[in-house]
Structure 1
Amino acid sequence: MTLLITGGTGFVMSVLARTWLERDPKARAVILDRAGLDDLAARYFAPVRDRLTVITADICDPREWQATLDSHDIRYVVHGATVTPISRGSAAEAKRQPEAEDPARIVDVNFMGTVRILEWVRQRPDVERVVFVSSGSVYRHHGPDWTGEPLPEDGYVAPLTLYGISKYAAEMVVNRYADLFGLSAASVRLASVYGPMDRVTGSRNFRHVPNRVAHMALSGETIRPNSLEPVGDYVTSTDVADAIIALLSAERLRYRHYNIGSGETSTIGDIIGWARERIPGLEVELSSVETANVIQDVSLKDGMWGAYDIARIAMDTGWRPRGARQSFHGYMDWIVENEMRSEGK
């Protein structure tokens, strides 16, 4: 039982690959990624490396990978290869507009990379299911129309960025290929993900609030948020991996799109409070936007920034995320064990 994961040396997809291999000692995984294994990934995959194949190639050039993939008995595909040009977190980062640096590459990888994989899949009748990894960036900034309700998959789609636009366009292509060629395929829209293997890579240089707070707290750095009120639906990479595997394993999928999130919001104040439970001496100073090292827009509380409705995936698979506080503490433990100890801290 072999799973192909594109983008599998990066953040969430690397956690998916290891989780898949740990669940079944007979399972195998193939990673297709432009980047090879960095030091952290090499250590992370060490316990399962004998059942993992890594193909270093450009998703947009099938000549680099098609023949090699043909030699593997691939039954499932998770397409997660993407370019994620997001810039937030500090005043200096907020001034950057990374989409303007290489806009064509964003569209090539996020849209045409999806087409290339689908072209390969449609010629492989043994592939049982395809999951496309999309994003909450496809949603608009406000909604739903009922205050306090989590954001559902139907409606409220209005991407503004090249990232969101390319993701939504790719979702539609996945749907059409499924109809044309009889594929069992679905797209997952991820909320704000943090957790194990969250690090800077060549295609993603962004850290959500829980990542930043956890690292600052553990390193003894003063946290200077511009406010304690901004919210996010934060879900860990381990929960996302479990959710995707649940979708791959489900007997039947009743929908084409599934949200994956915690289903609720946490404030910056909540996250800092959880960090203080582990680091009682943690220092926090409310700061202006110009001097803050954690910046979120106070006005962004719903739509893509709010809670995501996860009823669909819960109904079709039984998956549920762990509690937000428990997940955050688990991530702090993981940082100590896998990042700080390896660096001698």
Structure 2
Amino acid sequence: MTLLVTGGTGFVMSVLVREWLDHDPQARAVILDRSGLDTMAERYFAAVRDRLTVITADILDSNQWSRELDDHDISLIVHGATITPISRGSATEARRQPEAEDPARIMDVNLMGTVNVLEWARSRDTVKRFLYVSSGAIYRHHGPDWAGEPLPEDGYVAPLTLYGISKFASEMVVNRYADLFGLSALSVRLSSVYGPMDRATTSRNFRHVPNRVAHMALAGEVIRPNSLEPVGDYAHSVDVAKAIIALLTAPCLRYRHYNIGSGVTSTIGDVITWAKEKIPGLRVEVSPSETANMIQGTELKDGMWGAYDLARIERDTAWRPRSGKEAFHDYMDWIVANESDAAAGEGL
């Protein structure tokens, strides 16, 4: 069975490709991405490279890739190619508005790129399922109405950024193509993802709290958050990849939209506590925003920032997320095992 993954040289999608090839020794995968494999990706895929094809092309120009895709008997598609213009983390980064730098390209790649892949897929009888990778950025900043409830897929949708708007628009386009052309299609809405292969790429340069804490702790840096109280639903990239595979291979899906996350919130303080279990001498200094090296709004506790309801995916598949501490410790171990050489050679 051959899986096509657009954006597959990046962060979460590269982990998906590796998990797909690892779970079945007969499986094959095709990556369609504007960027080729960087040094880290070459090493990451080395053990499965003989079953992986990488097509370097622009998602907006189907003439570059449609004929080549026809040669691979694609049966499943995960469309993850996107531009993620997010800026948060330090005081300097928080002042940036990356969306203002090239807003038209964000909409073009994120929305029309989706249309281009759907256009190719709808006329190929071999394609059995189309999965669109959306984001929690489509949700409101607040909700549900009752405190403590996880955020469900129905309701509370009100994207404020071009990224969120383009994601939600793409979800609706996927739904309409499914109805018009009989596609088995769905969208997954990811919470804040961190984990293996989380690195700066041409389409994404942002690190969530667990990534930053893990790297700072392992580097012996002093962590200076503006507060220990801000929360997030932090999902490990391997857990996300396994969830997507569970949905791709499920015999029956009852919904068009599925949340993927950890299902709970963790504070910055929680993540730092987990890091201290690995690095007992870790130093932490809560600091004003002007001097903090980790900034997150203390008022952002629900809506897209809160816990994501996982009832749908848990009802339709056997997938379950790991505990926050277990997943975070696994990531710290992965960094030590896989990034030390790259850090010396690539300046990471």
Which residue number corresponds to residue 150 of structure 2?
Answer: 150
Which residue number corresponds to residue 133 of structure 2?
Answer: 133
- Which stretches of structure 1, 4 residues or more, deviate above 2 A after TM superposition? 341-345
Deviation at 1:343, TM superposition (A): 4.0
1:88 aligned partner, one-letter code: R
Counterpart CA distance in 2 for 1:225 and 1:150 is 26
Q: Which runs of 5+ in 1 are unaligned?
A: none
Equivalence map 1:215-294=2 (5 Å): 215-294=215-294
Aligned-partner SS, 1:71:
helix
Counterpart CA distance in 2 for 1:269 and 1:340 is 26
Counterpart CA distance in 2 for 1:319 and 1:179 is 27
1:92 aligned partner, one-letter code: T
Aligned-partner SS, 1:4:
strand
2:221 aligned partner, one-letter code: E
Equivalence map 1:289-308=2 (5 Å): 289-308=289-308
Which residue number corresponds to residue 183 of structure 1?
Answer: 183
Which residue number corresponds to residue 120 of structure 1?
Answer: 120
Aligned length: 345
Counterpart CA distance in 2 for 1:72 and 1:151 is 39
Deviation at 1:224, TM superposition (A): 0.2
Counterpart CA distance in 2 for 1:217 and 1:340 is 14
Which residue number corresponds to residue 84 of structure 1?
Answer: 84
1:205-234 Cα shifts (integer Å, max 9, x gaps):
000000000000000000000000000000
User: What is the identity percentage for the equivalent residue pairs of Structure 1 and Structure 2?
Assistant: 75
Task: Tell me whether 1:161 sits opposite 2:161 in the alignment.
Answer: yes
Aligned-partner SS, 1:119:
helix
Aligned-partner SS, 1:22:
helix
Deviation at 1:342, TM superposition (A): 4.2
1:120 aligned partner, one-letter code: W
1:198 aligned partner, one-letter code: D
Deviation at 1:341, TM superposition (A): 3.9
Which residue number corresponds to residue 203 of structure 1?
Answer: 203
Which residue number corresponds to residue 109 of structure 1?
Answer: 109
1:46-94 Cα shifts (integer Å, max 9, x gaps):
0000000000000011011001001111000000000000000000000
Query: What's the Cα RMSD here?
Result: 0.8
Which residue number corresponds to residue 100 of structure 1?
Answer: 100
1:97-117 Cα shifts (integer Å, max 9, x gaps):
000001011001110000000
Which residue number corresponds to residue 6 of structure 1?
Answer: 6
Counterpart CA distance in 2 for 1:175 and 1:125 is 18
1:13-48 Cα shifts (integer Å, max 9, x gaps):
000000000111111000000000000000000000
Counterpart CA distance in 2 for 1:93 and 1:46 is 34
Deviation at 1:344, TM superposition (A): 5.3
Counterpart CA distance in 1 for 2:110 and 2:239 is 23
Aligned-partner SS, 2:143:
coil
Counterpart CA distance in 1 for 2:109 and 2:335 is 30
Which residue number corresponds to residue 336 of structure 2?
Answer: 336
Counterpart CA distance in 2 for 1:237 and 1:324 is 12
Which residue number corresponds to residue 47 of structure 2?
Answer: 47
